Amino acid sequence: MQKEFTSLLNRVKLYSKNISQKKLQIVYEFAFTAHENDKRLSGEGVIVHLLETAKILSTLKVDEDTLCAALLHEIPQYTKYTVQDIEKKFGRNIALLVSAFEKIGAVKAVRAKDELELDTLRKMFLVMAKDLRVVLIKLADRLHNLQTLTYLSPAKQKKIARETMDIFVPIASRLGVYSLRSTLEDLCFKYINEREYKNIQDQLKTLGKKRKHTIDEMTKIVEEFLKQQGLEGTVSGRFKNTFSIYKKLKTKGKTSIDDIQDIFALRIILKSKIGEHGTEDISDLYKLIGHIHNKWKPLPGRFKDYVGFPKPNGYKSLHTTIIGLAPHSYKEPVEIQIRSENMHEEAEYGIASHWLYKESKGSSATAKQHAQIEWLKSLENLSNSSDDDEVMHNLKFDLFQDRIFVLTPKGEVKDLPKGATPIDFAYSVHSDLGDKCVMVKISGCIVPLNYQLRNGEVIEIITRQDSSPKLEWLSFVKTQNARYKIKNHFKDFIDKPDENEKKPERKIVRQQRFVPVKKTSELYKKVIVGGEKNLPVKFARCCAPSFKHKIGGYVTRGSSVTIHKKDCKLFKNSDVKRHISADWY
């Protein structure tokens, strides 16, 4: 294993001098010892998976804490050591990353019913992670798992591949980490639709043999053209990845890759230049596109300016399609992409390229970072914060401050408003679960029914068959769904004639005296209980509340509400758990 670890160290040396080789060695040795007897289905030790995950992350040029967390990410789940042990040994920052990874691992991303549920699940991962580095660790972890899927049953292979395609590929795309996205896509496609995957792979091999010389010749022609224009840069040719070709064929209703034109592209990467004001000078990009259009005929409608108008996730590049470059078929269209070195790094590594691991040249956000910030805000259409430092501080983001994402014990995700309670959660799962809720456990601990749920918590609802909703729940639930179902439970009781109207004699309940009030009276019409109108109420004779008084409600054993003055002694001395908000309107 030391050889593989040395390979990781060599990769890290290539992009950073600030990452401590000694610390990585200590973390590796700890992980190796902790997992010494742990094997995967492939027969390889778990430490191999951890090293491969860290190697994948090193291609994204991640920081020291991320690499350490990658080497430790399975410790709490599979060894005797806890997150607390990791914090004592390696510090709070690494422990937080490992802990967050463990939490998002609790989400069982089963095949969702529709796109809305899938989007909720994607947001759930982003929210639970808090730190984008955790998402990158998860993507790298998943990528290596896909690379070793052959050791699982066909059913499990397809399930994991489908889950990855539905959840992790879109996340990689949103983060702009295309170097991972395309690899994940092709690996998933291989297991989801093996026949189509093999068909396209075979066609690409045949085409590759035919086109290799053509691509080489075009590359040389464009390289020479760059020199003639006095521009410094590199040129490379590439075929599109297998899954993207499949999508193009499906869209066009074709089966042969000969039927689609932009099967490959030439990419020109110009040396980055910094302008007078410290921003990137992009003038050479536009000069080059002009020269190319003068030299070769551009296809109408195929020029895309993603430099002046970047994609929502910050992707920047100039795209055009020309005719006349292909040496053996001058009518064949050729796609050309033009970008700077910085733009290329962003296109490959996305948000990772400048948020996580740059050896900073200053704390202010660049124009590229602004684009990423705006994209992140757009995930929930949040545009009320213009403070970039607030968004970028410690790589954390609270983009979903108005929403929380919590889990059922089976791993199903529920999307609720901030401040939601276990009762809101119970009703979001099923009406009966809400109606019969008597107790709630979170992480094995009992919490009050009005407890405010937090992101990532696993909620266990305990029910009793003879239980029913309580009116006081209306004073703390946050969702309209819960309010409607609670109120609806009392609808029949509310709509029936009040028995007190037939029998106006006084009633004594727990030493409190009540005055019957007809539903037609002004007092009855103007009272709001728990934010709701037309609920069953009685008025306490002990304090005779009226419009001029501040009032509160007391829920009786029969689930009606008695209205008192707020300063009534009997009310103040009654069971606070049975109090419910009340007011006039």
Please compute the mean of the pLDDT values over residues 440-447 and round it to a whole number.
84
* Distance linking the first and last C-alpha atoms of the chain: 73
Last residue of a domain, one of 142, 174, 191: 191
User: CA nearest 530: which of 504, 554, 558?
Assistant: 554
Domain residues for 176? 2-191
Instruction: Indicate if 58 and 184 belong to the same structural domain.
Output: yes
Instruction: Indicate if 344 and 385 belong to the same structural domain.
Output: no
Dump the DSSP string for 176-235. Answer: T-HHHHHHHHHHHHHHHSHHHHHHHHHHHHHHHHHHHHHHHHHHHHHHHHHHHTT--EEE
536, 494 contact by CB (below 8 A)? yes
Instruction: Indicate if 476 and 552 belong to the same structural domain.
Output: no
Instruction: Indicate if 512 and 458 belong to the same structural domain.
Output: no
DSSP 8-state assignment for residue 306: T
Q: Cβ-count burial of 522 within 10 angstroms (0-12 exposed, 13-18 middle, 19+ buried)?
A: exposed
| pLDDT (0 to 100) of residue 120 | 63
Instruction: Indicate if 475 and 542 belong to the same structural domain.
Output: no
Please compute the mean of the pLDDT values over residues 183-200 and round it to a whole number.
94
Side-chain half-sphere CA neighbours of 41 within 13 A: 11
Instruction: Indicate if 50 and 120 belong to the same structural domain.
Output: yes
The two tokens of residue 573 are: 């001395």
Domain CATH number, residue 263: 3.30.460.10
Higher per-residue confidence, 505 vs 449 = 449
Instruction: Indicate if 46 and 168 belong to the same structural domain.
Output: yes
Instruction: Indicate if 46 and 158 belong to the same structural domain.
Output: yes
Domain CATH number, residue 460: 3.10.20.30
Query: Which residues make Cβ contacts (< 8 Å) with residue 218, sequence separation at least 6?
Result: 237, 266, 325, 326, 327, 334
Instruction: Indicate if 53 and 176 belong to the same structural domain.
Output: yes
Number of domains in the chain: 5
The two tokens of residue 118 are: 């899938």
Instruction: Indicate if 176 and 198 belong to the same structural domain.
Output: no
Tell me the pLDDT tens digit for each residue of 408-439.
887 777 878 889 999 999 999 999 999 999 89
Last residue of a domain, one of 139, 158, 191: 191
The two tokens of residue 80 are: 């005797």
Confidence of residue 361 (pLDDT cuts 50, 70, 90): very low
Instruction: Indicate if 53 and 100 belong to the same structural domain.
Output: yes
Higher per-residue confidence, 213 vs 150 = 150
- For 434-523, strand residue ranges (E) read 437-442, 445-447, 459-463, 508-509, 512-515
Dump the DSSP string for 61-94. Answer: T--HHHHHHHHHTTHHHHSS--HHHHHHHH-HHH
Domain CATH number, residue 66: 1.10.3210.10
Lowest-confidence pick of 8-17, 129-138, 192-201: 129-138
* Beta-ladder partners of 461: 440
User: CA nearest 118: which of 183, 156, 169?
Assistant: 169
Instruction: Indicate if 460 and 517 belong to the same structural domain.
Output: no
User: CA nearest 536: which of 570, 580, 569?
Assistant: 580
Tell me the pLDDT tens digit for each residue of 302-353.
899 999 888 766 788 999 999 988 876 657 788 999 999 988 887 777 666 5
Query: Considering Cα of 390, then 391, then 395, then 399, what sign does the dihedral take?
Result: positive
Cα–Cα distance between 318 and 553 in angstroms, integer?
66
User: CA nearest 478: which of 503, 508, 507, 452?
Assistant: 452
Last residue of a domain, one of 489, 508, 525: 489
User: CA nearest 135: which of 201, 196, 62?
Assistant: 62
Q: Virtual CA dihedral for 459, 66, 152, 177, nearest 10 degrees? A: 100
| pLDDT (0 to 100) of residue 406 | 82
Q: What angle do CA 326, 328, 333 make, to 5 degrees?
A: 35
Tell me the pLDDT tens digit for each residue of 232-260.
999 998 888 899 899 888 888 888 887 77
435 sits in which H/E element: helix 431-435
